[in-house]
Amino acid sequence: MEGNVSTTVAIYIDQACDLLSALATAEVLNRAATAWAAVRAAVVVPSMKAAVVVCLAMSVMLVVEKLSMALVALYVKVFGRTPERIYKWAPLSQDVELGSLAYPLVLVQIPMFNEREVYQMSIGAVCMLEWPYDRLIIQVLDDSTDLKIRELVQEECEKWSKKRRNIHYISRDNRNGYKAGALKEAMDLDYVKKCDYVAIFDADHEPPSDFLMRTIPFLIHNPEIGLVQARWKFENANECVMTRIQEMSLNYHFKVEQQSGSSTMAFFGFNGTAGIWRILAISEAEGWKERTTVEDMDLAVRATLQGWKFVYIGDLKVKSELPSNYKAYRYQQHRWACGPANLFKKMTTEIIMAKKVPFVKKFFLLYNFFLARRILSHNVTFFFYCIIIPASSFFPEVVIPKWGVFYIPIAITLLNSIGTPRSLHLIIIWIFFESVMSLHRCKAVFIGLFDAGRVNEWVVTEKAGNASKTIQTSTAAKKCPNKFWKRFHFLELGMGVLLLISACHNCIFRTNLYFIFIFPLSLSFLTMGSGFVGTYTAQQSS
Tens digit of each residue's pLDDT (9 = 90 or more) over 380-435:
999 999 999 999 999 999 999 999 999 999 999 999 988 999 999 999 999 999 99
**19 has a pLDDT exceeding 60:** no
> Averaged over 220-229, what is the pLDDT?
98
3-state SS record for 153-214: HHHHHHHHHCCCCCEEEEECCCCCCHHHHHHHHHHCCHHHHHCCEEEECCCCCECCCCHHHH
More reliable by pLDDT, 460 or 15: 460
- The count of structural domains within the chain is 1
With cut-offs at 50, 70 and 90, classify the pLDDT of residue 458: confident
- Give every CB contact of residue 283 below 8 A, 6+ residues apart in sequence: none
**123 has a pLDDT exceeding 50:** yes
Question: What is the percent of the chain with per-residue pLDDT over 70, rounded to a whole number?
Answer: 90
With cut-offs at 50, 70 and 90, classify the pLDDT of residue 467: very low
What pLDDT does 542 receive?
A: 33
- The pTM score is 0.90
- C-alpha span between 186 and 192 (Å, rounded): 8
Q: How far is CA 389 from CA 81, 318, 430, 465, 499, in A?
A: 42, 41, 19, 41, 10
In a domain, 105, yes or no: yes
**15 has a pLDDT exceeding 70:** no
Amino acid at 166: N
| Neighbouring C-alpha atoms within 13 Å toward the C-beta of 442 | 18
With cut-offs at 50, 70 and 90, classify the pLDDT of residue 98: confident
- C-alpha span between 328 and 463 (Å, rounded): 9
- C-alpha span between 365 and 371 (Å, rounded): 8
**355 has a pLDDT exceeding 70:** yes
In a domain, 333, yes or no: no
- C-alpha span between 338 and 456 (Å, rounded): 9
- Residues recognised as catalytic: 143, 296
In a domain, 108, yes or no: yes
> Averaged over 198-204, what is the pLDDT?
97
User: What SS3 state is found at 86?
Assistant: helix
What pLDDT does 323 receive?
A: 94
pLDDT tens per residue, range 254-289: 999 999 999 999 999 999 999 999 999 999 999 999
With cut-offs at 50, 70 and 90, classify the pLDDT of residue 480: very low
What is the domain range of residue 199?
A: 83-324
In a domain, 192, yes or no: yes
**475 has a pLDDT exceeding 60:** no
Among the listed residues 249, 248, 273, 275, the one whose alpha carbon sits nearest the alpha carbon of residue 262:
275
Least confident among 125-129, 327-331, 499-503, 533-537: 533-537
Residue 526, Cβ neighbours under 10 Å: how many? Answer: 19
**101 has a pLDDT exceeding 90:** no
Residue 472 bridge partners (DSSP):
none
In a domain, 456, yes or no: no
- Give every CB contact of residue 77 below 8 A, 6+ residues apart in sequence: none
- C-alpha span between 242 and 324 (Å, rounded): 7
What pLDDT does 159 receive?
A: 97
**476 has a pLDDT exceeding 50:** no
- C-alpha span between 374 and 343 (Å, rounded): 11
**538 has a pLDDT exceeding 50:** no
Tell me 95's DSSP state.
Answer: B
Helix H or strand E segment including 230? strand 225-234
> Averaged over 189-209, what is the pLDDT?
97
> Averaged over 433-451, what is the pLDDT?
96
> What CATH number is given to the structural domain containing 180?
3.90.550.10
In a domain, 218, yes or no: yes
pLDDT tens per residue, range 22-76: 656 777 678 788 888 889 999 999 999 999 999 999 999 999 999 999 999 999 9
> Averaged over 342-367, what is the pLDDT?
97
> Averaged over 122-135, what is the pLDDT?
96
User: What SS3 state is found at 369?
Assistant: helix
In a domain, 45, yes or no: no
In a domain, 204, yes or no: yes
Mean pLDDT of the chain: 90
pLDDT tens per residue, range 287-323: 999 999 999 999 999 999 999 999 999 999 999 999 9
**238 has a pLDDT exceeding 80:** yes
Beta-sheet pairing, 225-234 with 167-171: unpaired
Count the helix, strand and coil residues of the chain and give each as a percent rounded to the nearest 5. Answer: 65, 10, 30
With cut-offs at 50, 70 and 90, classify the pLDDT of residue 185: very high
> Averaged over 160-179, what is the pLDDT?
94
**534 has a pLDDT exceeding 90:** no
